Structure 1
Amino acid sequence: MDELDGPTTPSKKAKRLNKYRKEWANTFNWLAKDNQKARCKLFKKSFSFIYGGLGDIKRQAEGSKHKKHEIVLKQNKTLQSFLGREEVMDSQQEKILASEVANVYHTVKHAHSYNSLYCSSQLLAVMYPDSNIATKTRLGRTKASMIAFNVLAPFSVESPLCELSKGVFLEFWNFFGISTDASNHRSAKLFPILLRYYVPSEGVKLFLLDYFEDPDESANGIYTNLKTRIQHAGLLLNYISCYSADNANVDFGRLHSVYQLLYKENNKVLAVGCPAHMVNNSVKNALAKCRFDVETLILKTFNQFSSQAKRCKELKDFFNFVDLEYKTILSHVPTRWLSLFPAIERLLNIFPAIKSYFLSQEETIPIAL
């Protein structure tokens, strides 16, 4: 008997890839689609279901981390619990709610702390006891953070996205430019995504779409994060008008860069370098033609008064003499090129007093000055 006639091992069947089904969200209210993966809304993490399908969804729901987040969510009070149990708020409740939201917005805009907001709300209740709104406004740290994260933050993104979605019917509305740049926050490297678009009635508008963390800072990583978040917002890559970033090879390299990857998706996208760096390079080349070194002038002037209390006292007298409000002299940090312009502007504003001081000290001023 021929060896080839013996029993053969059956070939393995190819695994069938599963697709996301909308009806899953009816059973699991925490489930959402994230491109080719599923996303858990409780602890904001994506996981794959391509091979396991519904089984992967159920395993996710039965996991210890997932159940822990469900318990925490049930224990936390929602924002509505602070506003009363009536289904329809009356005008007085609406005014109290509007007061609380406005106070939180003011706190976030001016980078104040939630502790100061809580203290202010208590102080206003004492100062204005005859005001029903002031006495019933309660803004603790937890409530204020819930309003900021769950009300103001989503609205700041949803509102401009609604304006962009209207551009489907008016094509000159929905084109937008994207900007991003790395920012070190301690050990984390964060990338904010800024979108700039045009509205005929208001002009050019700018808003923060999202931000992501990418420790590798590679072209593929930045491009993938940008593409994922733009598509997740319901926007199309074909409507990107320009890409603006730092003038580095990872962003605008000729062979492989973020711009080249975007250009493959949309060959009409324009490359826009960092405007701040362009201005800095222009000013730097222009200052090279000056007869004196501006940076030396700033640093020498600052050092003249930085640690000399007596000289500062004399300088204040000259401010009074020339009828100017006293302002401290700013220093320039060479590693922070954005600090040069404020230092020059401050020196120009107080130049009459500085000039009068140095003219009275002809024998002791540095030669460079």
Structure 2
Amino acid sequence: MDCTFKLIKFSLEQKFSCARTKAEATVTNVLAPHAISEVKSKNLFPVLLRYFDATQGVQVKLWKLNSLPHENSDLTSTFLTESLDMINANEKNSCPVCWQYNCDFRGVNKKGGNNVFTKLKNYLGHELLGVGCTAHTVHNTTQAASDVLPVDDEIIVFKIYGHFHIYIVYVENLKDVCESVEKEYQKIMGYSKTRWLALRPAVERILQMFEPLKLYFQSQENCPNVIKIHFGNPLFEARLWFIHSQASTFHDSVKLTENENVSIFYVIELSKLKLSLKSRIDDNFLPLSVKSMLLKLEEEGYIIKEEVSDFRTSTKLFYQTALEYLEK
């Protein structure tokens, strides 16, 4: 506008006056906020193409971006087929990767005709390899596996966070306990219950603060009784270490499958995670921290041999359930 406003003033409007300062104010305070609000008000649907180039390797490009107010199977499949027509996709090998809503795949068995996967397959006229969101798959796997454990420690972790999240006085009391045992206070972390993988940092923080937390809850009268009972259970810390170990394993798997250059076939198979689970089943694996903790508790008489056996049985069932879910 520094250059243009004089030309506009000479040829179009003599009273026109909008150089750098006014133009910047207009763009910053009017056009930009309006553009952002327009984008936020739309339900944008991106189509990404992932392909291999002989000279540049794996490439990921934004191919189409459109606003789909209602992402039902008809609208979605129509938009996708129109996008694929532009690159002659029916002549190429392709596999759709998307969220695992019923609209997309109609369940793990991909049955039924009113879903995007089936409609794309019919359009292309050949079989498709349907790939759901790996992060959701792994999350659902861990959720299904944790449900077979005899105690839902996930709820306890959530309740511990809730206890300190609202009342500052509880936090101050915990800080006093930390000071008495010469342990540095660290803030208790929460997590989203819709994402089992986010449990790891929350559990890790409780383990770091386990001693002062145990002393705190055992000395408090006005606290959830279920938390006090868990801290009184000699196996509680061992169970948390087991959960932490599993959360770390599955989290690393998600990070690997979301790598920019990972093969689609690895994403589908999750081969490294399956191999790890099979190995843990065959070896009746326990993390070293858990194994040494169980041995110490048994030697000191806090638990009996049958309790150790039950603990091992439940952890093996965890691995088996996770592997069965992934295979499915």
The interval holding the TM-score normalised by the smaller chain is: 0.3 to 0.5
Please state which structure has a larger fraction of its residues in helix: 2
Please identify the structure whose Cα radius of gyration is greater. Answer: 1
Which structure has the higher relative contact order (CA within 8 Å, separation 6+)? 2
Please state which structure has a larger fraction of its residues in strand: 1
* TM-score when normalising by structure 2: 0.48
* TM-score when normalising by structure 1: 0.43
